[in-house]
Structure 1
Amino acid sequence: MARTAQFLGRRADGRKGAKRALPRLLFFTDPIRTPEPEAMARRLPRGAAVVFRAFGALDAESRGRRLKAIARARGLILLIGADADLAQRLGADGVHLPERLAHRARRLKAAHPRWIVTAAAHSPAAARRALTAGADAAVVSTVFASRSASAGAPMGPIRLAILVRRAGGPIYGLGGIDNKKARLLKDAGLVGVAAVDAFRT
């Protein structure tokens, strides 16, 4: 999937609203669906990003430090889900905000200019709000049918492409994306793709 993500990202290069170089591939951890995120992180290509979502786990800091060590060794980017304080303690590369916290993006960017800040979005309006609020990119879901308990109705490639054109900035697609389905998004204008369990062997 990494090669497909790179292809999609190159096609999106130079799009109006792009603020900085962004990873093409995002791996979102999940305590249920990816119980051993370190193993998946070790398989990611250089330049990909790990989005560590701890959801308040007691071992969040120790696991985050393990992921940070893997990221440093493999040339990966580490983003922390929702928790800017944890991101700062770990020396992470930025944060991924849930949709309800997207309004914090500009303040976080001001405090940490080198951070990448992405935000979740589940509608065209939410994507525009996240980008207007200063996020480097919005991660839009759900693209295809997904096993996620929080997944909404899939929008499919055509509706996603329309959203990307109207959003005014970089967009990732998330939800049910594997290598085969990522190829269906070649004309969507995405900066890259995101997945949870597409990296399992």
Structure 2
Amino acid sequence: MTQANPSNRLSSSRLGLSRWAGPPLILVTDEGRLPDPLAAAAALPPGSGVLLRHYGDPARVARAAALAALCRRRRLTLIVAADWRLAARLGAAGLHLPEGLARHGVLAPALGWLRRRRVLLTIAAHSPGALGRAAELGADAALVSPIFPSRSHPGAPVVGPVRLGLWKRLARQPLIALGGVTAATAGRLPRGTVAGLAAIDGLVPAERSRS
């Protein structure tokens, strides 16, 4: 996420974000484009979220512990991807499931932990079918991507604002936009379509107080 030139252009009221139980602005970690996410996370306004991916990082556990401590200090919502045991160890506020993992089922212990702790569940969705699976699993939100052309998936087909609006009508859970989301492109999203914005970089921090 861009840390320079903070702006309030991404405030909830200005973009017409719908509501969900989690943060409206989420930093998504990536070991290639954001090897050390701590500095970017420290620049987020309180009330934002951090989605820890770093799937191939051999130091993932240690990095996750440092990130969890920072999130507590900064009042950020930590969501851990794919590993419910790590999420439980860190006392994370949520678990994120990649679409493939959600498609092939989730281990009963993971669902049991989610229900006992009443933590957030987000699921990646790249199709209407994936949105249906997210609803079946009781997801609190679906991360839909890529909304716009993204450096993470160059040349990949994008959802786009129009199709996103159609998917919103089908979805039974709030949607979070991911992929090519910047201060400029976020303004192209139809008002009320998404409940949050997520990005690895290029997203200007929102204003420090929620609307």
Equivalent residue, structure 2, for 1:134: 138
* Range moving further from structure 2, 111-120 or 140-149: 111-120
Residue 60 (structure 2) pairs with residue 60 (structure 1): yes
Equivalent residue, structure 2, for 1:17: none
Question: Aligned to 1:192, which of 172, 186, 196?
Answer: 196
1:178-200 per-residue CA deviation (whole Å, 9 max, x = no partner) reads: 01111111425211111111258
* Range moving further from structure 2, 4-13 or 39-48: 4-13
Quote the offset at 1:81 in angstroms: 1.0
| Partner Cα separation in structure 1 for residue 95 and residue 154 of structure 2 | 20
Contact 1:2–1:45, Cα closer than 8 Å, also in 2: no
* Range moving further from structure 2, 187-196 or 39-48: 187-196
| Partner Cα separation in structure 1 for residue 17 and residue 98 of structure 2 | 27
Contact 1:40–1:199, Cα closer than 8 Å, also in 2: no
| Partner Cα separation in structure 2 for residue 200 and residue 34 of structure 1 | 16
Percent identical among aligned pairs is 39
Q: TM-score scaled to structure 2, two decimals?
A: 0.83
Equivalent residue, structure 2, for 1:79: 79
Q: Aligned pair in 2 of structure 1 residues 147, 35: CA closer, same or farther (>3 Å)?
A: same
Contact 1:122–1:141, Cα closer than 8 Å, also in 2: yes
CA RMSD of aligned residues (A): 2.4
Q: How does 1:43-54 map to 2 (within 5 A)?
A: 43-54=43-54
What amino acid sits opposite 2:194 in the alignment?
L
- Three-state SS of the structure 2 residue aligned to 1:179 is coil
| Partner Cα separation in structure 2 for residue 151 and residue 77 of structure 1 | 32
Contact 1:141–1:151, Cα closer than 8 Å, also in 2: no
| Partner Cα separation in structure 1 for residue 201 and residue 43 of structure 2 | 13
| Partner Cα separation in structure 2 for residue 151 and residue 132 of structure 1 | 31
- Three-state SS of the structure 2 residue aligned to 1:104 is coil
- Three-state SS of the structure 2 residue aligned to 1:12 is coil
Residue 152 (structure 2) pairs with residue 148 (structure 1): yes
Q: TM-score scaled to structure 1, two decimals?
A: 0.87
> Paired residues, what number?
195
Segments of 5+ residues of structure 2 without an aligned counterpart are: 1-6, 206-211
Q: Aligned pair in 2 of structure 1 residues 101, 150: CA closer, same or farther (>3 Å)?
A: farther
Q: Aligned pair in 2 of structure 1 residues 91, 11: CA closer, same or farther (>3 Å)?
A: closer
Contact 2:15–2:191, Cα closer than 8 Å, also in 1: no
1:42-67 per-residue CA deviation (whole Å, 9 max, x = no partner) reads: 01111111001121422111101111
Equivalent residue, structure 2, for 1:160: 164
Q: Aligned pair in 2 of structure 1 residues 141, 11: CA closer, same or farther (>3 Å)?
A: closer
